[in-house]
Amino acid sequence: MADKDFVKEIADIESDFAQWYTDVILKTNLVDYGPVKGTMIMRPYGYAIWEFIQSGLDKRIKETGHQNAYFPLFIPESFLQKEAEHVEGFAPEVARVTHIGQEPLAEALVVRPTSETIICHMYSRWIQSYRDLPVLINQWANIVRWEKTTRPFLRTSEFLWQEGHTVHATEEEAKEETLKMLEVYQLFLKEELAIPVLAGKKSQKEKFAGAQETYSIEAMMLDGKSLQAGTSHYLGQNFSKAFNIRFLDRDGTHKFAYQTSWGVTTRLIGALIMVHGDKRGLVLPPKVAPTQAIIIPIASKKPEVLKKCEEVLGLLKSLGIRAEIDQTDASPGWKFNEYEMKGVPIRIEIGPRDIQNGVATVSRRDTLTKTELKLDTIAQDIQVLLDAIQIDMYEKANNFLNSHITTVNNLKELEAAIQNNHFALSMWCGQSACEDLVKEKFQATSRNMPFDQTPCGDACAICGKEPKYKIYWGKAY
Amino acid sequence: MADKDFVKEIADIESDFAQWYTDVILKTNLVDYGPVKGTMIMRPYGYAIWEFIQSGLDKRIKETGHQNAYFPLFIPESFLQKEAEHVEGFAPEVARVTHIGQEPLAEALVVRPTSETIICHMYSRWIQSYRDLPVLINQWANIVRWEKTTRPFLRTSEFLWQEGHTVHATEEEAKEETLKMLEVYQLFLKEELAIPVLAGKKSQKEKFAGAQETYSIEAMMLDGKSLQAGTSHYLGQNFSKAFNIRFLDRDGTHKFAYQTSWGVTTRLIGALIMVHGDKRGLVLPPKVAPTQAIIIPIASKKPEVLKKCEEVLGLLKSLGIRAEIDQTDASPGWKFNEYEMKGVPIRIEIGPRDIQNGVATVSRRDTLTKTELKLDTIAQDIQVLLDAIQIDMYEKANNFLNSHITTVNNLKELEAAIQNNHFALSMWCGQSACEDLVKEKFQATSRNMPFDQTPCGDACAICGKEPKYKIYWGKAY
């Protein structure tokens, strides 16, 4: 029954994934378009997901020894010029404040497109000695980058993120930090968002403007495209030299420090939608679902039904489960559709006959399966079920990812893999000319080079020359 | 002993309160100046306090039925023009984005100085029917207002805040919401920041640009000046008419909605410093102190001392107390000064003799008193002590406030009260000419009109005419 109704509401996920995405995010009230080009409003349902992402990740960032701070939104334009690659990467898309009211500013200000420059400026004042190191600071902030093509969550003129900026005495320690934070992201996505990722190193062409090395985690969307879900950069001494971050080392000499930066953004919400969704709409993993269980009274006019619903609600809440009752006048069928579209992990129906039998009908959003649970032990059982859903959703997504990776040995195989909505895994010569070719021919890019570099072929799949790296290719958001 | 050292480090709180403030915030690493005029960096110690303020207040905002959302930073300039008083109040101090890279924008964008206009623009799209009301949304965000005179936390070009924006079907409900949120602020300041406030209504001259009525909570700093610590505005239909927020009511007619907005900012940290501080530096209430108890090993080279310190740390942490050990090489005396300056509520010294006697020496930062606590029950006792400090700090601040309010009946008494660093409470005719006079003569402003309007005199203390309101006067930050 639901299927028929949904045809009207949400575009078909198989035939028009892009429209399905737009329909889902608007109709579930996750988001709305802002009046300024490329901006979005995160409505309460969408922002609540971000709050769970924030609190879950913030905990992990603090547990690994980092502290939060807050740096200014506005950066003097001259700061951006100090690191050559950095300015080249960001200058064309920065928003520039030139006036206060009608008064022109002496120097234009740039709205932060990322905060390396202003943070490094401050670090050069704060860091004098090896005793001041390491500096392990993170910031939650809004960021502005004027992108040509935008889509809510995935690419917006303004977005929210966290950016870590650390300073170390040695190259070794900074590299260790870079990889540690990549792993923090990977585990967070696995354990809280139920999203499997491919972790690895970006090619020089795809790295962050100003980094020596960029590592990424790449997630596979249901349409086979990749979404870069987080990055961790080893900055080397690029910024410490540009901003004069030097410290007096134990050996009595002054040295330039080694740095990292790393971040994830509100695009993680886009990943959640496109990894787990189905034709009925959102499917949210319990850990970040604003509502984990929705209780729907059947024959809700009967006082004993509502009473029992409230009793169950109290039991669920006492276990810390985010549960609600929908007491509105809408029909049960309408409500089923609504909460399925919103991706609420568990639906609990309670009607007069259920009460008589001492049970409730419980539906899982991820599998669309129904079961009866005894009212006596329902809260504990729902708790167990939520944990199971969280794990099963990861397994399902992981199976999807693994079944959509094809090892390829030549251009033809690479083309077939990409056209088949797979990631291609191949050997690569390391030349950016081959990346350019893949981009031009198949609109795909190198994603990253996995840590396990066991060869999967004898030659670069693109040019046939001596292979240097094993690397993933795919279309990407 | 400490006193002598501190003379070098922090300006004297009695003779130069302004310099004392600056010394304290910089030397405790709460904050640093940003490279752009009037901006600040909230360093980890300062930002951690903001995180406790945020989480404590956010809980109360949600408990009163509000949800968080996030609206864009950039507002089309034309939006600001739509409400006449609003544009007059904010236009001169807004930062304007005119270019993306080197490309001029067709319409300049304003960096939000407050979000009524952009939020109302969206509300007019979302609200159709009485069924959509009330809308109870809050946002945590950064705000930019280019102020001429700035001081960290108190008045900065960019600051962090929360802003609630609600929409209601009736005037009555909106007015109720305005007062409810004022009370939420008042209780939050009392129970978590240990700050007593005077709650009341602002004069028309002092109200928010675009509001019908503004209510405020005013806190008294140690120098007798007032700090407006939070505001709650009844907007009436000013914005709903300017932005066409109409709803179809139960009676079948379209009506303009009634609105409120309310906010508190990072200046609350300034209030914490200037309400509770003393000549040694910060005194932080336990509920928002990043470190609640610092353990200092005496004769720290002895392994049994460090072992005992770690044991106590474990006990404290198991009760959820934010405790730390300072194991650095610095002398105990240096450490005492350092943590006193940083305002850590409790210091625990543990040395060989203490261990022998089964006790630790425990000092309260607020009273500077010492006591011995048995090691067996130290964690529970520290818990109790933290609660006592929280309450005592409020009592102390409340006594200070009450002993610095003088009821006045004429200009001369008003002048004496202000010069004596008191708030003056008087009857007032309601004319802004009298406010202008007080401002010109004594650099003081009307603060607010308490809810209890029992007369305290027969005539306006300024002009002697018929009194209309009872009102507080004071110098203000």
pLDDT of A410-446, one tens digit each?
999 999 999 999 999 999 999 999 999 999 999 999 9
3-state secondary structure of A347: strand
Cβ–Cβ under 8 Å, residues A382 and A373: yes
- Mark yes or no for CB contact B100/A91 under 8 Å: no
Cβ–Cβ under 8 Å, residues A406 and A420: yes
Mutate one of A50, A51, A73, A115 to test the B interface: name it (highest B CB count within 10 A). Answer: A73
In angstroms, the CA B210 to CA B212 distance is 7
Closest Cα partner for B292 from B195, B370, B365?
B365
By Cβ distance, the residue of A73, A101, A126 closest to B158 is A73
Residue in chain B nearest A90 by alpha carbon: B101
Residue in chain A nearest B42 by alpha carbon: A70
Distance from CA of B445 to the nearest CA of A (A): 26
In angstroms, the CA A448 to CA A473 distance is 8
User: Which chain B residues are within 8 Å of A118, Cβ to Cβ?
Assistant: 34-35
In angstroms, the CA A318 to CA A321 distance is 7
User: Which chain B residues are within 8 Å of A94, Cβ to Cβ?
Assistant: 100-101
pLDDT beyond 80 at A57: yes
- Mark yes or no for CB contact B68/A44 under 8 Å: yes
- Mark yes or no for CB contact B47/A35 under 8 Å: no
By Cβ distance, the residue of A41, A76, A98 closest to B122 is A41
DSSP-assigned states of every residue in B260-310: EEEEEETHHHHHHHHHH-BTTB----GGG-S-SEEEEESSTTSHHHHHHHH
Q: Report ipTM for this prediction.
A: 0.96
Is it true that the peptide bond before A303 is cis, omega within 30 degrees of 0?
no
Mutate one of B32, B41, B81 to test the A interface: name it (highest A CB count within 10 A). Answer: B41
Distance from CA of A447 to the nearest CA of B (A): 28
φ, ψ at A388 (rounded to 5°)? -65, -40
Which residues on adjacent β-strands are paired with residue A164?
Answer: A138, A262
pLDDT attached to residue B6: 46
By Cβ distance, the residue of B44, B70, B109 closest to A41 is B70
User: Which chain B residues are within 8 Å of A43, Cβ to Cβ?
Assistant: 69
User: Which chain A residues are within 8 Å of B166, Cβ to Cβ?
Assistant: none
Distance from CA of A31 to the nearest CA of B (A): 9
* Inter-chain CB pairs, A–B, below 8 Å: 151
- Mark yes or no for CB contact B42/A70 under 8 Å: yes
- Mark yes or no for CB contact A96/B96 under 8 Å: no
pLDDT attached to residue A282: 98
Neighbours of A179 (CB within 10 A): 16
By Cβ distance, the residue of A42, A69, A101 closest to B70 is A42
- Mark yes or no for CB contact A109/B95 under 8 Å: yes
pLDDT of A90-128, one tens digit each?
989 999 999 999 999 999 999 999 999 999 999 999 999
User: Which chain B residues are within 8 Å of A147, Cβ to Cβ?
Assistant: none
pLDDT beyond 50 at A4: no
Mutate one of B26, B27, B28, B36 to test the A interface: name it (highest A CB count within 10 A). Answer: B36
Q: Domains of chain A by range and CATH? A: 2-276 (3.30.930.10), 291-387 (3.40.50.800), 405-474 (3.30.110.30)
Report the phi/psi class of residue A212: left, alpha or beta, with left for phi > 0 and alpha for psi in -120 to 50. alpha
Mutate one of A82, A97, A165, A328 to test the B interface: name it (highest B CB count within 10 A). Answer: A97
Which residues fall within 8 angstroms of residue B183, CB to CB, at 6 or more apart? Answer: B199
By Cβ distance, the residue of A68, A75, A76 closest to B44 is A68
Looking at residues A378-388, what average pLDDT do you find? 98
Q: pLDDT tens per residue, chain B (477 residues)?
A: 444 444 458 999 999 999 999 999 999 999 999 999 999 999 999 999 999 999 999 999 999 999 999 999 999 999 998 988 888 889 899 999 999 999 999 999 999 999 999 999 999 999 999 999 999 999 999 999 999 999 999 999 999 999 999 999 999 999 999 999 999 999 999 999 999 999 999 999 999 999 999 999 999 999 999 999 999 999 999 999 999 999 999 999 999 999 999 999 999 999 999 999 999 999 999 999 999 999 999 987 889 999 999 999 999 999 999 999 999 999 999 999 999 999 999 999 999 999 999 999 999 999 999 999 999 999 999 999 999 999 999 999 999 999 999 999 999 999 999 999 999 999 999 999 999 999 999 999 999 999 999 999 999 999 999 999 999 999 999
In angstroms, the CA A178 to CA A158 distance is 26
φ, ψ at B324 (rounded to 5°)? -145, 160
Q: Record the tokens describing residue A424, joined without a space.
A: 């291609």
Angle between helical axes of B378-402 and B267-276 (0-180°, round to 10): 90
Q: In what order do the strands lie in the sheet with A323-325?
A: A323-325, A293-297, A346-350, A359-364, A370-374
Mutate one of A26, A63, A74, A266 to test the B interface: name it (highest B CB count within 10 A). Answer: A74
Which residues fall within 8 angstroms of residue A262, CB to CB, at 6 or more apart? Answer: A163, A164, A178, A181, A182, A185, A230, A231, A232, A233
User: Which chain A residues are within 8 Å of B142, Cβ to Cβ?
Assistant: 73, 141-142
User: Which chain B residues are within 8 Å of A124, Cβ to Cβ?
Assistant: none
